[in-house]
């Protein structure tokens, strides 16, 4: 009986580690894609529709149009660096807060991710220029 209980606990721990690793892989992929200003690579992590906010202009776009909007943002705001500074979760919702630096200033980046099935998908992405 104890052996069976031990096997069940081990299985649960392995599943939890797999979920955490998958989320971490998603966050790493998002960070790398933004660091390269690569909207196409970033879209690999998008849900079917994505809410995109750039400097208070907020709109929900189909994945293909969100790629176009972010390509425009990246080309208008040449990246110097991007780093995720903080991440957290609430239930099956996850978020990452980052800093997108350009020669014209810094942007606060907020990325909201939801676990859908076995995938972690971006539901919302925001770039807000830091106020001086």
pLDDT of residue 24: 92
pLDDT of residue 128: 97
Tell me the pLDDT tens digit for each residue of 64-87: 999 999 999 999 999 999 999 999
- Domain positions in the chain: 2-129
pLDDT of residue 3: 60
CB 98 within 8 A of CB 33: no
Residue 88 tokens read as 């957290």
pLDDT of residue 4: 59
Tell me the pLDDT tens digit for each residue of 55-69: 989 999 999 999 999
pLDDT of residue 18: 41
Tell me the pLDDT tens digit for each residue of 2-33: 565 445 554 444 344 344 448 999 999 999 99
Tell me the pLDDT tens digit for each residue of 46-57: 999 999 999 989
Architecture of domain 2-129: Roll (3.10)
Q: How confident is the model at residue 131 (pLDDT cuts 50, 70, 90)?
A: confident
pLDDT of residue 87: 95
CB 109 within 8 A of CB 126: yes
């Amino acid at each position: 009986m104890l052996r069976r209980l031990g096997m069940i606990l081990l299985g649960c721990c392995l599943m939890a580690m797999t979920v955490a690793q998958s989320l971490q892989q998603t966050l790493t992929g998002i960070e790398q894609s933004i660091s390269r200003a690569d909207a196409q690579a970033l879209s690999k992590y998008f849900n079917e529709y994505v809410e995109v906010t750039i400097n208070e202009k907020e709109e929900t776009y189909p994945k293909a149009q969100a790629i176009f909007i972010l390509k425009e943002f990246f080309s208008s705001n040449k990246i110097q660096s991007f780093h995720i500074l903080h991440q957290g979760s609430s239930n099956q919702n996850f978020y990452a807060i980052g800093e997108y630096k350009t020669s014209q200033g810094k942007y606060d980046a907020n990325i909201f991710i939801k676990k859908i099935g076995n995938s972690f998908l971006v539901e919302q992405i925001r770039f807000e220029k830091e106020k001086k």
